[in-house]
Copies of this chain bind each other. A is one copy, B any other.
Amino acid sequence: MSGLVVTDARLDGERVGLRCAGDGTIAALGPEVVAGAGEEALDAGGALLVPPLLNGHTHAAMTLFRGSGGELPLVPWLEERIWPVEARLEAEDVYWGARLACLEMVRSGTTRFWDMYWHPEATARAVGDAGMRATIGAPFFDRGDPAATWAAAREELALLEGLGGPVSPALAPHAIYTVGEESLRFIAELAAEHGVPVQIHLAETAAEVADCIAAHGRRPAAYLDGLGLLGERTVLAHGVWLDEDELALIAARGATVVSNPAANMKLAVGKVFPWPAARAAGVRVGLGTDGAGSNDSLDLLAELKLFALAQRHAAADATAIRAADAWAIATGAAAPLLGATPLAVGAPADFVLLDPGAPELAIGDPTNDLVYAADRTAVDTVVVAGRVLMRGGAQPERDEVVARAVERAARLGL
């Protein structure tokens, strides 16, 4: 079976073609690639060819919660607006919330995300139906009988492991303030046993750090490390309040930190992820939008600009981050665990074509423009595994997905 052939794209200043293999990988890429007779051709018209963006931390189905309690700080927002409604969530709610999230992420050129949410099998189904890729974990909280909670976590992991396809499983203990020491040790053992990654919110607020020191005599990263939870398959979401010793430890263990600047600023946690120190320590870094309940968008291209601006602002130094570094972080290239796919023969045929007529990309360095000037109107075509998910900004499933998500939100009283 032959695949899609893209012609007349721009890559590193050259006009290139890209041929997808029938198995969803890139079969050929270069100036010599042209469409043969009878091949399915997509004329890029001089569009810039770039790797897709990678959303390293979200709660996809929380599109249903958009705008709910939007002017509250983190803890009352969770306790008053989010958790009571989540107690009533059904799998079908999560499915349509996640479909809406996929629609929005693809619109921004994102093709892969890391998710932590209830009914993960429903999110996995949404990812498959939307044509995206994801690593998904069920949130783990301590509640009731530990043995029953642990058994449920084992079952959920087995369920996700059985799904295959574009979804890979993860474990997702919510945070060190909602999951106790014994359960965190259990998660570390289960992750090692199954060889799966662990996602956890860490060092999001100053209170979390202070409470950790008070309870455990050390800061969050050191505490996690002592429990065997800091390793090459660990993804730490936020990391706003990490100090230099913690960053050195995280780098030494090969763990990844995913920054979510919009959610951190919106929930007003008071600081910005210390990227200059993380870079100096050699920490692997990714970028995430967090859930739509606390951002409120899933637009990683907007998040990319915010990340760069927040770093320059926090350092009071316009040279604090180069556009190329920010771009590498947003595409997942700066954190191998996250699963970025390079534009290379043999790699998955996942890529983005930018509108060749986009005003914001017409003048200046392309990487600078992508970080600071472009927005989603410049994202023209999104392809995953050789399959076109969006062309000319159009997403055929849009109206149906929006309508169904609106119904589910209404059902929940959102």
| A residues apposed to B, CB below 8 Å | 63-64, 66-68, 70-74, 77, 100, 103-104, 107, 262, 264-270, 272, 292, 295-297, 299, 302, 305-306, 308-310, 312-313, 315-320, 322-323, 357, 359-360, 362-365, 368-369, 372-377, 393, 398-399, 401-402, 405-406, 409, 414
Measured between beta carbons, the chain B residues less than 8 angstroms from A70 are: 323, 364-365, 368, 372
Closest to A366 in B: B67
CA distance A310 to B266 in the complex (A): 8
Q: How far is the CB of A272 from chain B (nearest CB, A)?
A: 8
A405-B266 in contact (CB<8A): no
Given A67-B364, A362-B405, A312:B265 Cβ within 8 A: yes
Measured between beta carbons, the chain B residues less than 8 angstroms from A402 are: 357, 359, 362
Q: How far is the CB of A43 from chain B (nearest CB, A)?
A: 16
Given A309-B265, A369-B296, A72:B270 Cβ within 8 A: no
Closest to A360 in B: B297
Measured between beta carbons, the chain B residues less than 8 angstroms from A77 are: 318
Given A70-B365, A72-B318, A363-B63, A377:B393 Cβ within 8 A: yes
Measured between beta carbons, the chain B residues less than 8 angstroms from A267 are: 312, 318
Given A359-B398, A364-B67, A266:B373 Cβ within 8 A: no
Measured between beta carbons, the chain B residues less than 8 angstroms from A377 are: 107, 375-377, 393
Q: How far is the CB of A81 from chain B (nearest CB, A)?
A: 12
CA distance A269 to B312 in the complex (A): 9
Closest to A71 in B: B319
Given contact pairs A268-B312, A362-B402, a sample of 10 additional A-B residue pairs in the complex whose CB atoms are under 8 Å apart: A66-B368, A71-B318, A103-B359, A104-B359, A262-B309, A264-B313, A265-B310, A302-B302, A306-B309, A359-B398
B376-A266 in contact (CB<8A): no
Measured between beta carbons, the chain B residues less than 8 angstroms from A316 are: 268-270
CA distance A323 to B316 in the complex (A): 27
CA distance A68 to B368 in the complex (A): 9
Closest to A317 in B: B268
CA distance A298 to B103 in the complex (A): 25
A319-B364 in contact (CB<8A): no
Oligomer: number of copies: 2
Q: How far is the CB of A365 from chain B (nearest CB, A)?
A: 5
B64-A295 in contact (CB<8A): no
Q: How far is the CB of A323 from chain B (nearest CB, A)?
A: 7
B372-A295 in contact (CB<8A): yes
Sort A-B residue pairs by CB-CB distance and give the 8 closest, nearest first.
Answer: A67-B364, A270-B316, A265-B313, A265-B309, A67-B368, A296-B372, A296-B373, A66-B364
Measured between beta carbons, the chain B residues less than 8 angstroms from A73 are: 317-319
Measured between beta carbons, the chain B residues less than 8 angstroms from A74 are: 318
Given A302-B302, A376-B375, A66:B319 Cβ within 8 A: no
- What are 15 A-B residue pairs whose CB atoms fall within 8 Å in the complex? A68-B364, A70-B372, A71-B319, A74-B318, A107-B359, A262-B305, A268-B312, A268-B315, A295-B373, A359-B405, A362-B402, A362-B406, A363-B405, A375-B375, A375-B376
CA distance A263 to B306 in the complex (A): 12
Measured between beta carbons, the chain B residues less than 8 angstroms from A266 are: 308-309, 312, 318, 372
Q: How far is the CB of A313 from chain B (nearest CB, A)?
A: 4
Q: How far is the CB of A150 from chain B (nearest CB, A)?
A: 35
A67-B265 in contact (CB<8A): no
User: By CB atoms of chain B within 10 A, which of A70, A316, A369, A401 has the most?
Assistant: A70
Q: How far is the CB of A154 from chain B (nearest CB, A)?
A: 34
Closest to A103 in B: B359
